[in-house]
């Protein structure tokens, strides 16, 4: 009987140990998160007549979104991960992309402490992903009137469906690569995207270097390069950056002018510059200034002459932190165009915006 009891006790102990071991290596979590951001905005120069507009707008700090992230520990430093994220507008509750639920991110993959992270699905290219993580002064979260430059010249306009994304990090150094499959029968290059970046986190000075080559369905490409310096030492942070873009797809013109891309596309070249400065005036009060400048050159329809244009934007953002989650803010911004860039403004001159809003994160 004693032997039986000992045997039974040992079996139970082994079973509990096995269950405990299995639980330790199969821990998983799913987190719901999101941002709700809305503002009242006054915009002067909103149409061709230069009229003004007052509206309730989706946020100026970060666009509203909700999402799910998941992580399962597979043991040995390996994890299975996923992310599903959807952008929406607080003005009417609609999805930011009609008919697409998870319009910002929808991917799954593996993360290794040793070998890096590899994911597959709807996700950004390497350069744009860096910008959303702090390498742009406004983190590409402001109104389109102010964030036109990093959107237009980072290769974002292709839309990053069907993408494989790899990240390798060691301390402050991160190397990222992304490849977007075109999905076109018989032509692997059409609609495909290749992107590479390297970042060194600011401590206090950091650097980001990036490259994107994004094709359209006709196998024309936008090729862009960028380099940015970032200085961070509390209570201040500063940015200085440069972009070079050559676009044969018509996407840049279409985005900046708000018109459909033409069937016959002539090349466009851009040299663009970014500068920014933010600082905490007080522990709960932050000021950010950003400056964007683009020098463009377009080939005319004759394909024998070119014309130059300039556009710049100046943005001031004040944030008051009510808590770690909730922020009140106000913005003032001014956009100006000249030369061939005049068609990027509704009144072919300028726009001035003033906004107040609130953002809550969960």
Q: What is the pLDDT of residue 19?
A: 35
Write out the two tokens for 275: 């500068």
Q: What is the pLDDT of residue 131?
A: 96
Mean pLDDT, to the nearest integer, of 273-300?
A: 95
% pLDDT > 70, the chain: 91
**73, 28 in Cβ contact below 8 A?**
yes
**Cβ–Cβ contacts within 10 Å for residue 91, how many?**
13
Each residue of 323-342: pLDDT tens digit? 999 999 999 999 999 999 99
Structural domain for 179, as ranges: 35-361
Judge whether 221 lies within some domain: yes
CATH code assigned at 85: 2.40.160.10
Each residue of 19-53: pLDDT tens digit? 333 434 458 999 999 999 999 999 999 999 999 99
Judge whether 1 lies within some domain: no
Return contacts of 344-350, CB within 8 angstroms, 24+ apart.
344/148, 344/256, 344/257, 344/309, 344/311, 345/45, 346/45, 346/46, 346/47, 346/48, 347/45, 347/47, 347/48, 347/49, 347/50, 348/48, 349/45, 349/50, 350/45
User: What pLDDT band is residue 4 in, cutting at 50, 70 and 90?
Assistant: very low
Judge whether 18 lies within some domain: no
CA-based nearest residue to 174, from 183, 182, 165, 184: 165
Q: Is the per-residue pLDDT at 348 higher than 50?
A: yes
User: How far is Cα 340 from Cα 176, in angstroms, rounded to an integer?
Assistant: 35
Each residue of 6-16: pLDDT tens digit? 343 344 333 33
Query: Which of helix, strand or coil describes residue 12?
Result: helix
Write out the two tokens for 126: 């390497």
Judge whether 281 lies within some domain: yes
% pLDDT > 90, the chain: 79
Q: What is the pLDDT of residue 183?
A: 83
Judge whether 348 lies within some domain: yes
Position with higher pLDDT, 3 vs 181: 181
Write out the two tokens for 268: 């466009």
Q: What is the pLDDT of residue 75?
A: 94
Q: What is the pLDDT of residue 143?
A: 92
Mean pLDDT, to the nearest integer, of 284-296?
A: 98
Judge whether 119 lies within some domain: yes
Phi and psi at residue 37, to the nearest 5°? -140, 120
User: What pLDDT band is residue 360 in, cutting at 50, 70 and 90?
Assistant: very high
Q: What is the pLDDT of residue 61?
A: 87
Q: Is the per-residue pLDDT at 353 higher than 50?
A: yes
User: What pLDDT band is residue 299 in, cutting at 50, 70 and 90?
Assistant: confident
Task: Work out the end-to-end distance of the chain between its first and last CA atoms, rounded to an integer number of angstroms.
Answer: 59
The chain-wide mean pLDDT, for the chain, equals: 90
Q: What is the pLDDT of residue 301?
A: 59
Q: Is the per-residue pLDDT at 216 higher than 60?
A: yes
Judge whether 28 lies within some domain: no
Judge whether 330 lies within some domain: yes
Q: What is the pLDDT of residue 58?
A: 87
Q: Is the per-residue pLDDT at 359 higher than 60?
A: yes
**197, 104 in Cβ contact below 8 A?**
no
Q: What is the pLDDT of residue 27?
A: 83
Mean pLDDT, to the nearest integer, of 106-125?
A: 96
Per-state percent for the chain, helix, strand, coil, to nearest 5: 15, 55, 30
User: How far is Cα 213 from Cα 224, in angstroms, rounded to an integer?
Assistant: 7
Total domains in the fold of the chain: 1
CA-based nearest residue to 151, from 136, 161, 164, 165: 136
Token pair 């010249």 in the structure block, residue: 153
Mean pLDDT, to the nearest integer, of 186-191?
A: 88
Each residue of 42-95: pLDDT tens digit? 999 999 999 999 999 988 888 899 999 999 999 999 999 999 999 999 999 999
């Amino acid at each position: 009987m004693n032997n039986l009891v000992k045997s039974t006790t040992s079996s139970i102990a082994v079973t509990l140990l096995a269950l405990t071991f299995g639980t330790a290596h199969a821990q998983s979590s799913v987190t719901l998160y999101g941002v709700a951001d809305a503002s009242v905005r006054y915009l002067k120069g909103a149409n061709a007549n230069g009229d003004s507009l007052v509206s309730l707008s989706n946020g100026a700090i970060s666009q509203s979104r909700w999402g799910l992230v998941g992580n399962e520990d597979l043991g040995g430093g390996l994890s299975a991960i996923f992310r599903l994220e959807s952008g929406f507008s607080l003005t009417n509750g609609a999805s930011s992309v009609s008919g697409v639920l998870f319009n910002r991110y929808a991917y799954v993959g593996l993360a290794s402490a040793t070998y890096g992270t590899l994911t597959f699905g709807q996700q950004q290219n390497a350069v744009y992903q860096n910008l959303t993580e702090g390498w742009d002064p406004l983190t590409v979260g402001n109104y389109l009137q102010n964030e036109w430059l990093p959107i237009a010249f980072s290769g974002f306009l292709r839309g990053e469906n069907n993408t494989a994304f790899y990240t390798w990090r060691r301390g402050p150094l991160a190397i990222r690569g992304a490849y977007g499959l075109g999905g076109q029968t018989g032509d692997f290059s059409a609609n495909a995207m290749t992107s590479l970046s390297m970042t060194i986190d600011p401590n206090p000075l950091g650097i980001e270097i990036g490259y994107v080559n994004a094709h359209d369905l006709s196998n024309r490409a936008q090729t862009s390069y960028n380099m940015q310096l970032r200085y961070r030492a509390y209570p201040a942070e500063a940015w200085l950056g440069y972009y070079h873009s050559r676009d044969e797809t018509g996407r840049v013109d279409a985005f900046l002018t708000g018109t459909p891309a033409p069937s016959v596309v002539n090349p466009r070249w851009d040299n663009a510059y970014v500068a920014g400065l933010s600082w905490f005036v007080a522990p709960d009060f932050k000021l950010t200034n950003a400056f964007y400048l683009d020098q463009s050159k377009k080939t005319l329809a004759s394909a024998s002459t070119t014309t130059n244009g300039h556009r710049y934007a100046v943005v001031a953002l004040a944030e008051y932190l009510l808590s770690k989650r909730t922020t009140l803010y106000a913005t003032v911004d001014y956009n100006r165009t000249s030369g061939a860039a005049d068609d990027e403004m509704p009144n072919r001159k300028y726009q001035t915006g003033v906004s107040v809003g609130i953002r809550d994160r969960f």
